[in-house]
């Protein structure tokens, strides 16, 4: 096998070693991964010269260009190659036969061949053949996804592939603006086996799809249709949708897409990257309406929660000139997903908050049977917050203020908040469309009200709200702390949380947090003086304020 690789390397034009702050990287250009179909089937290699030289994870980069243009030599792809080599990956950046040289499915077959070549020469390349991932943009995104979905397809004979005795499966596949179907009539559309849409089902390969919401070339609705169908079939598909056009994940919105890629490859190629704290990322509501665009992440150290936070926490701290306050959120029904509240939580986070919400990250609502969570999850979230604040290796170190923590919950989640009322780490409480009255739920009862030790805010949705009456009873019963009761009289029990940016309820919750955790005095006009300017069909009352 070493002899085979040596023969191939004689076809290269440049073999250079670059010194980086991480260590040396050897870049080898124009390695032929197959010689039977012309001169275009070559790739560049970037190999770290630091650290272990065997069993490294590897990434194959596939350029875009509409299948009839583009090159591995594009600056974006060559820089991406060295970027991941600095992180310890062996990276191949490939060319393939364009359609004017050979019609589809030649380019698909070339990608399959390149993967097999990497596996055939894995020992000499120093890679683990079971830890190869792919990434491509546009046409390259299509080819990357095809590497994941069509592994076992009999549509590609690969009869001329010199490495066909090796399998062409990959450990993961990522695509930016990837055409999942051609979307127009013609010969290409007639061959569903050439497109990811032809392989809906449970795939062994996990995927990451990066999409611009205003992409005029690859329509987001087609991308999202494929993502949803694959997820419903049981496949693992992470989906990151951001404002932007066709250049998303190429030269647009890299501040979002690159961290998502870093986390994806770190997770599935099992490369220990201490600079990446989270495993998955999502951008609900395009990051919220605030000045600090926010994301939802699944942290490696807290996988059964979602953390909603500004994408760039350090910049948010600098902008606020203070560490960020924290909110612990409990879901309605005490269920293990916050997806029904992600619009509100993302929007609040975009104004400079870190929110820890119960339940694993979901890309889409799956309408699955939801599991109820114990009220002890609040204490688990608080423990994690304090641990992260003290850990010098955490991205939250010196970024979150453990003296400014609130807890909020909707319906049964409100009871979970009250069940933790005695926890001295909480400064204020927010009870949404809920109240205890005379009932017991989620380990809370009217007795829990006596444990409140900070200002408490109830928000209900009119007399049709199932929590309205109990909230009134609680309001009258609370004697020991300041309490406000706001009534959005026409919103009902479901509130406005699934409206754009969480609707009016979200805005009022944020004003409460600004007042209680950021000491801003403007909201006092609302909560103390009852000035409901900008809030139609609302009532508000308060007591126990000095």
Tokens 């260009």 belong to which residue? Answer: 65
Looking at residue 22, what is its pLDDT? 66
**What are the chain's domains?**
2-272 (3.40.50.1820), 292-543 (3.40.50.1820)
Q: Is 260 exposed, middle or buried (0-12, 13-18, 19+ CB in 10 A)?
A: buried
Looking at residue 156, what is its pLDDT? 81
Q: What SS3 string covers 376-391?
A: CHHHHHHHHHHHHHHC
End-to-end CA distance of the chain: 82
Tokens at 23, concatenated: 């260590």
Looking at residue 365, what is its pLDDT? 82
| Strand partners of residue 356 | 307, 328
Tokens at 47, concatenated: 């190999």
Tokens 């820890």 belong to which residue? Answer: 356
Looking at residue 6, what is its pLDDT? 43
Q: What SS3 state is found at 145?
A: helix
Q: Which long-range contacts (CB under 8 A, 24 or more apart) does 499-502 make?
A: 499/343, 500/285, 500/343, 501/285, 501/288, 501/289, 501/343, 501/344, 501/346, 501/347, 502/341, 502/343, 502/344, 502/345, 502/347, 502/348
Which strand ranges, in their side-by-side order, compose the sheet holding 127-137? 15-19, 24-32, 42-48, 90-94, 56-62, 127-137, 172-176, 207-212, 237-242
How far out from the chain centre does Cα 320 lie? 24
Looking at residue 12, what is its pLDDT? 52
Q: What SS3 state is found at 233?
A: coil
pLDDT beneath 50: ranges in the chain: 1-11
């Amino acid at each position: 096998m070493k002899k085979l690789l040596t023969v191939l390397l004689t076809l290269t034009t440049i073999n250079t070693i670059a010194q980086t702050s991480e260590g040396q990287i050897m870049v080898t250009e124009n390695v032929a991964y197959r010689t039977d179909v012309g001169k275009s089937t070559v790739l560049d290699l970037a190999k770290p010269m630091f650290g272990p030289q065997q069993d490294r994870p590897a990434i194959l980069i596939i350029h875009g260009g509409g299948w009839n243009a583009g090159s591995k030599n594009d600056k974006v792809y060559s820089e991406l190659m060295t970027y991941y080599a600095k992180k310890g990956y062996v990276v191949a950046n490939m060319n393939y036969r364009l359609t004017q040289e050979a019609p589809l499915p030649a380019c698909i077959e070339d990608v399959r061949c390149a993967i097999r070549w990497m596996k055939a020469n894995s020992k000499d390349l120093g890679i683990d053949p079971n830890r190869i991932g792919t990434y491509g943009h546009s046409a390259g995104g299509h080819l990357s996804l095809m590497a994941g979905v069509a592994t076992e397809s009999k549509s590609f004979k690969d009869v001329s592939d010199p490495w066909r005795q090796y399998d062409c499966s990959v450990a993961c596949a990522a695509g930016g603006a990837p055409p999942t179907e051609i979307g127009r009539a013609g010969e290409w559309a007639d061959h569903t086996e050439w497109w990811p849409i032809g392989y809906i089902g449970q795939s062994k390969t996990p995927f990451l799809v990066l999409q611009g919401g205003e992409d005029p070339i690859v329509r987001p609705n087609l991308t999202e249709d494929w993502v949803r169908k694959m997820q419903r079939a049981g496949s693992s598909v992470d989906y990151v949708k951001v404002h932007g056009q066709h250049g998303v994940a190429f030269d647009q919105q890299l501040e979002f897409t690159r961290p998502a890629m870093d986390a994806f490859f770190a997770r599935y190629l099992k490369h220990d990257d201490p600079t990446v704290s989270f495993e998955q990322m999502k951008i609900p509501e395009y990051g919220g309406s605030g000045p600090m665009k926010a994301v939802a992440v699944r942290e490696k150290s807290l996988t059964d929660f979602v953390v909603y936070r500004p994408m760039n926490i350090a910049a948010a701290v600098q902008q606020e000139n203070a560490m960020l306050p924290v909110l612990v959120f409990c879901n309605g029904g005490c269920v293990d997903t916050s997806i029904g509240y992600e619009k509100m939580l993302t929007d609040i986070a975009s104004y400079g908050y870190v929110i820890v919400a119960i339940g694993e990250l979901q890309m889409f609502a799956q309408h699955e049977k939801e599991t109820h969570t114990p009220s002890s999850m609040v204490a688990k979230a608080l423990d994690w917050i304090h641990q992260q604040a003290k850990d010098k290796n955490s991205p939250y170190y010196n970024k979150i203020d453990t003296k400014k923590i609130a807890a909020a919950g909707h319906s049964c989640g409100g009871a979970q908040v009250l069940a933790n009322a005695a926890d001295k780490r909480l400064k204020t409480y927010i009870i949404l469309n809920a109240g205890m009255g005379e009932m017991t739920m989620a380990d809370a009862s009217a007795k829990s009200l006596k444990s409140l030790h900070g200002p408490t805010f109830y928000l209900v949705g009119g007399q049709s709200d199932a929590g309205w009456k109990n909230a009134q009873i609680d309001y009258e019963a609370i004697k020991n702390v300041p309490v406000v009761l706001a009534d959005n009289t026409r919103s009902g029990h479901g509130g406005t949380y699934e409206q754009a940016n969480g609707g009016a309820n979200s805005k009022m919750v944020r004003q409460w947090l600004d007042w209680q955790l950021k000491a801003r005095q403007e909201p006092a006009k609302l909560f103390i003086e009852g000035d409901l300017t900008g809030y139609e069909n609302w009532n508000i009352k308060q007591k126990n304020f000095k």
